[in-house]
Every structure is written in C-alpha cells, then in structure tokens.
Structure 1
C-alpha cells in the first residue's frame, strides 16, 4: 500500500468514505468532536504517546471456548454460532450458558504475571472487560447477582474474587493507564431483554417509547453500574463503552449494515453518564464507540488497520489469536506479524490495542508468554522509535514506514518485508521529508558505524554484517 503525500484532511476524508472499512463489524463513526476539557485533552495526548496496549476479554464463556456473549444473540451471524452439545434449543442454550456462573473458578488467576509480561513487551495501558454483552459482571456490582463475586460463583470464595479490582490495582502499580471496557447493552437484564418478549436480535426487545418506565429502569441500572466502576476502583483513565446500537436514534448511520437493524430509540443519556464519570474521574477519556459526538474521544477500528494516516485519535483493537475470547488451540499471530502491525498502526498515527484472552483457569496460553518475550527483545532495541511519536510524511513508501518525534527533529524509518522470516538487506534507500537535513543516522541494534549519504530527498545506507542479527524489522533513526 503506497500512501501519497496529501493533506491529513484528505486522508481523513478518504478514510471515512472507504466502503471497505465501513464493512467492518465496528466501523469508525463520522463527525469527530475534539474534546474541550483541558484535562481530557491532556490525558488523550498522553494516551497517544503510549502506542501499545493490552485488551482482555474474559468471562464465564471461556469455559466453553466460545465467542464472547454473541452465542446468546438470536441473529444468524457467523460469530453467533452455538454448539449443539451446549443446548438443543435456544432457551436451553441460554440456561446452560448462564449456569456457567456456577462453575467459573479461575484459580490460576495472577494479574502480576500478566502485568510483568505485558510491561516487558512495551505495553503501557490495559483495557479490561468489566462486563460484556452477556451481562456477567467481572466486578462487585450491587445491581445484579450475575457476577463473579456472587455466592453462586465458586471463585467468590477467593480473596481475589473481584478480578477487576485486582487487575486494575496491579497494572496501575506498574505504571499502566487503566481502561474499563463496559457493554451498554445487557442481554441478562430483564430491563433490556424483557422476558415478556423473546429477543429478536442484539437490540432491546421492546419499544422504549411504548414502555418508558422499563427503559428508565435500564438507564438507572446502567448509570449505577458505571458509577460503581468509576467510584470504587481507583484511578481510571479510559471508559471504553461497547455496544454502539444503544444510541440515540438520530445518530444512526444508514450506510452501516448493523446500524440499519436498530428500529427503536435507545438513548441511554450519555450526557448524564459522561458528566458523572468525569466528576468521579476528572480527565477520563470516554469512548462511546461508533456514536459520533463529544463522548467518542477516540475512534476504534476493530480487527483492521486504516490504510492511511488519520488526523484524529484512534486505536485498532486486534486479537493476538483469531478470537477475542479464549478458544482452545487458538492460532496466535507470529511476533513478526505483531511487530509489522504495530509499525503500520503507529506510522498512521494510531495506537495498537492487542487482545489476549485468559482461559477458564485464569491464565494465558503458554504461547502468549513466548510471543510477549519475543516482542520484548525487539522493543528493548527499538522503543525510542515507537513511543511518544506521531505520524509524519511520507508516512509509507514501499517497505518503509515513518514516525517522527513530536518536535519533528527525529525521524524513524521502519523497514519490513512481510515475509515469514525477516532478512535485513545490506543496502537501504528511502525518501525523507523535504528540508530535513540529518546530522546523525543510526540503525537501532547495530553498534558499528553506519555509512550513509543524502542525495536530494533520498537517504542511502550501507549496513554492516551485524545487520544479520536484526529481527522482524530494521529501524533507522535520524536526528536533525
């Protein structure tokens, strides 16, 4: 993919008009509004410096090794497939799914082990699923007994039962920014999927305008749970709200397939929620996914990377395996693929939120730690070209990707090959921005002197034999 040197406004316009990108399950919404709260702006700027974060989808569903929550949804989509051995009818399936609460006992839960591995790999923030669409709370809510701390859940007897608190406290202690994922829809709540009617799809199964008291109860339930999360769990930097179909009806984008399924008003009063969250957590970033306006402080393409740089804050959430939830024998991406994805994302101005799903025993697959260790070795050499950087022209040319320091006095050029086994070539030639005159050029990870020359706006480099030790990518760093 070759990115031409156009203005960022054109990049943004082209990105938003991309029909291919809108086909993603969770698209990027139109109409970004820059936050005006100075504390939010400061937090957002700091978050953009972090570049690499850890996402964790975890719940009772890990015991079955099925997709998170979606098998409860009556929609006939590929990700909602149910296994016959878990129920011969939809209603039996739901009962058996909800009974997973009574066997959930992740005794190997050790958030310090996760934090240690993630920190070494260069991850600097964490987003954890406090509650997914199935409504099972991984925190000690007072609004429901469908939670990990309920006596119905075996793990409730463990002193670490409030896993959200344990995860947040552990990662915060190790310097991570803390993000709380929360699903606005709740398929367990009788105030959202009312038992009087069968659910038809992901949306509320009654008309909130016909039953305003019912909807008001759901709004209070949601508000109270988010008040608990933002009041009782220490400093939280990001409130990551999923389930974009719960939204004001007038915000629906008819160009997006899944938004066309929304037939009723589902205004949950984000102004009230957002005001409360900011009162509890001054400066908190709020991500009301796919709902344009002041409560979507950054946008979140899912399982995809924009093909061009964006001038707004954004984050790609991408799984290390094939699934967001734990699946036995999942196929995990290679460390080279992960590094290449990170390079593409940061060269286009985004953050990479990589999802790793704990299993029912409370730990990652062993291969996850192998990947994180390999990424750590690369980060130890190249971190100065990753963190605190921004996109800079020419962004991407051929096998080369660019980042720059915020003062634009340093430019980093990443060379990748997208082959199974990276081999650093003996010669590199690439463009640099006009009027950029480097006074020093080095290749990160190579101690020998580098021979280079500048011709017009091109840099030519001869690399020594030491280059053979470089893995995944070669990073050239130039200082003006």
Structure 2
C-alpha cells in the first residue's frame, strides 16, 4: 500500500504516462504523520494547488511522487450507472488485507522484499524469495468468513474489500492464469468464494483489491530495490544489472493481468473493484464486464472516487478543498490495527479502541466520505479477538446512533466553527464527541450558530442543558451519562426555518 518507486512500474497496462511515479527516498509518506512535515526542521509541508483546464483544483505535495499525489485526484467523470449510486451513502467499509504476506512470520509486510539501506540496517529487509517461500506452509485451517462477515454486518459495515492478489502475485482464488497462488500451493482451495458468499449472506457489498503489479511475473527483470543505482534481484542479491525485458514483455504482462481480471469479474461479479498499482485492465474494459461496478482511482482510465490513504491524508485541510469542492466522491482507507496492512504477529493483535474508530467514521461522514477500515486477519484464518470486541461495541452503538452516519445528507462546519465533527440530516445535526469531549471542562462549542429547538443525547433521548448567547451554542454531557468507551452523539434540532442549503452535500 505504500507509494511506488519507478522501477516497480514499467508496464503499460497499469498506468498512463502521466501517472508514472518518480523515485522518492522517504518511505513513510502515505498517511503517516512524518509525511506532512519536514523531518529536519519540523515545519509543516504545504502542498501547492494547480487549477487545471477542467476548472478543478488539484493538490500536489512537492516531496511526493505523481502516483501518491494521484490518490487524491479523480481524473475522469465518475460513473452515473444506477447500480453504483449506493456507494457514497454506504459510509463504512471493512478492508481485509489477507494473503501470503500475512503468513510471512517475521513481520507480515509485503514490502519487506524491497531493499533499502535503512531497511537492511534495521534488519527489516528480507529477500522476496523468502516471502514467496512462505506459501509452502500456509494453510488457513481456521478460516471462517461467515463468522467474520456476520459480525461485520451487525457492526454496520455496508461493504467490504478483500485482497485477491497483492503485489507479490499470490492469487487467492483458483486461477487458470496465476503463476503462484492457491492452485499451486493449496490444491486449488478457493479462498475468495466462501468470503463472497458470506458477504452476500449478510447484505454486504463485495469488493476486491487487485494489484496491477505482479512481482512474481516480472521477477527475473525487476529490481527489488528502492535505489535505482543499486539493483537487487528477487533473491536479495545486489547485482550490477538485471536482464532486459524482451520486446514481448509488456504485451504479455498486459494480457496476463487482463485474463485474471476477467476471470475474477466473471466468476464473482463484484460490486467494487479496488485497484492498487493499476486496475489490471483499463477501467472502460472493466465497466464493459460489469457496467454498474464502482472503481477506485488507482488505475488506467481512472475511477469513481479519491482514495486518501491514512487518517492524516484525510485531514479536512486536504479533503474539503479541493476534493469535496471539486465534487468528487472520496474514501479514506486506513489501518485500525497495530503493524501494517497485513497481519503482524508482533503488533497485529492490537485493534484500535472503539471510540477512535467511530470518531474516524464520524469525521469521514462529516465531509461526505466513506471510511474503509483495514484489519488484517491472522494467517490461520481467524479474526483477532480484539476485532470482535470492536464489532460488538460498534453493533451496540449502531442500535441507537446509526442515523448519525447513515441516511445523512450534509455535514456541519467542522473544524472551522465547531470542535467536534457534525453530520446533518437537513436541520437535524449530529455532534460526535470522544469519551474525553463534551464534558464540563471541554464542552461542545458551535460558533455562529442558530438557536436550537432541542438538544438531546442520541443514545437515550434525554434533553441536555445548553447555553446560547451571542450566536454561540455550548453544551456538554453529564459524566454519569457519557458512554465511556464509545463515541457519544448529541442531536440538535434547529427547526423548520433553519437554512440547510450551505451544509447539504453537493458531491453526492
């Protein structure tokens, strides 16, 4: 999921020429706090804004490659197909990065096979051949996607995206075309089919992550190094040079990916295609296979929505303008567990606190976006106990607070005029507060506010005391009434004469 060095992408099928990346030495970019400040000075890095001929504005972070910047861009008009219009109101998706990297015991990191001096110095570099060797012993005997998705549905997840093939090339379905995957190492056991069935059993839209890069396919020609001056082969050996790709390589690569995409589309008929490092096929060709599909923006031909990666990239200063102002759908895909995207035995058992996840959901919904929250299940197929703790807390929260994130049609002025995110259904506003907010010491404050008709705690329906003076609305929740471990929601009704126009979403 990290940004992509130049040597990773030499195929015509994955990217348009304008999207080809540049080499960037800092590997902590996407979504991490370090990506937004100069590590030497501590000063914030401010992106430039380019206004293009289409009249839309596009951010460019000077230290990011074009591919990383492109995650926040929607280059082409989004789909108008009626079967795809469910997406912006869905709000909450479950990202499941599960595959061969999960079974790589040292750290579960699919990018460990890409060399850098820093990674070698930290003992975090492993030859790509060692990661592929993990396929020999991987057998998820406790895989129970029905249990996963039943719990996810109760927690409020409306869609889910699972890994079909990550960059290493391991295919999670019984493919006629893959060079490495379940056919070669699990006697053809299809890991996608039972998961797809479980999603549909519980009313969850089916999404597939697919990597347009396939390092196994190009292993003999690809440098597994971040440094273009120091090639590394897939065995982890530094070499002077690598064999040149034959003239037929690009076409063979394109046909290989296209065959896999077509196979997945025809076999499983997904609702979402989540390309990474390319869609594997041009967007127009994917739509020809299923016209009503939703595509992300990470492949040739573009897609329907921006993909902010990590909560820092989804900060209001980067999303409200220009993403929302441009009228684009958008989604934040972010890790909500310890470690990286796939399971890491050293950190992966830790799942974020329920209050934290619900607040990130509220922030995304406040700005008219979706949260695609990533959990990497264990290699044996079990979901972490902490994940079920989260799902149970969310399920209980949804019983009384669901309407604050689903069925909304606008977002309030956060953080410009309020200290907590607000979602709106016309003149009814929902204020979301962490366990430590909305207290007497730290009340919810809305500046330039209209006078409310009522202020109520959503969970119980009880009236809350508030003050309204000089167009400032303040209120808090009594300590003995706060939920404690999940997000509190306060419902404020501003009445039938309230002007809702400035707050209604215009990009849905």
What TM-score results when the alignment is normalised by the length of structure 1?
Answer: 0.76
Matching of residues 244-393 of structure 1 within 5 Å: 270=281, 273-289=282-298, 294-305=301-312, 306-308=314-316, 309=320, 310-311=323-324, 312-322=328-338, 323-330=340-347, 331-393=350-412
Structure 2 unaligned spans of 5+? 1-49, 234-240, 496-508
Mapped partners of 1:440, 1:232: distance in 2: 52
- Could you say which structure has the greater relative contact order, defined with CA pairs below 8 angstroms and 6 or more residues apart? 1
User: Which residue number corresponds to residue 487 of structure 2?
Assistant: 473
| Paired position in structure 2 for 1:64 | 104
Equivalent position of 1:50 in the other structure: 90
Describe the SS at the equivalent of 2:112. helix
Structure with a larger share of its residues in helix: 1
User: What does 1:183-194 align with in structure 2 at a 5 Å threshold?
Assistant: 183-189=211-217, 192-193=218-219
Greater CA deviation, 451-460 or 164-173? 451-460
Structure 1 counterpart of 2:80: 38
| Aligned mates of 2:464, 2:291 — CA distance in 1 | 48
Counterpart of 1:175? 203
Shift of 1:196: 5.5
Structure 1 unaligned regions, length at least 5 = 1-8, 85-89, 247-267
Q: Which residue pairs with 1:459 in the alignment?
A: 473
Q: Distance in 2 between matches of 1:126 and 1:82?
A: 34
C-alpha change, 1:37 and 1:197, in structure 2 (3 Å) is closer
SS in 2 for 1:276: helix
Over 3 Å counting, the alpha-carbon distance change for 1:281 and 1:457 in structure 2 is: farther
Out of 429, 435, 448, which is 2:462 matched to? 448
Residue by residue over 1:350-394, the C-alpha shift from the partner in whole angstroms, topping out at 9 and shown as x without a partner, is 211111111121112222211222232223221110113355241
In structure 2, relative to structure 1, the CA distance for the partners of 1:475 and 1:359 (3 Å cut) is: same
Aligned residues: 418
Query: Matched residue of 1:403: which SS?
Result: strand
Q: Secondary structure of 2:156's partner?
A: coil
Within-5 A mapping of 1:118-133:
118-133=152-167
Question: Residue 274 of structure 1: CA displacement?
Answer: 1.9
Contact 1:442/1:477 (8 A) holds in 2: yes
State how far apart, in whole Å, the 2-side matches of 1:141 and 1:360 are: 21
Q: 1:451 to 1:200 in 2, by over 3 A?
A: closer
Cα 1:357–1:209 change in 2 (3 A) is same
Deviation at 1:179, TM superposition (A): 0.9
SS in 2 for 1:222: helix
Q: TM-score, normalised by structure 2?
A: 0.72
SS of the equivalent of 1:149 reads helix
Q: 1:347: Cα distance to partner?
A: 1.8
Q: Assess, with a 3 A threshold, how the Cα gap between structure 1 residues 302 and 100 changes in structure 2: closer, same or farther.
A: same
Are the equivalent residues in 1 in contact too, given 2:430–2:490 (CA < 8 A)? Answer: yes
Structure 1 contact 50–124 (Cα < 8 Å) conserved: yes
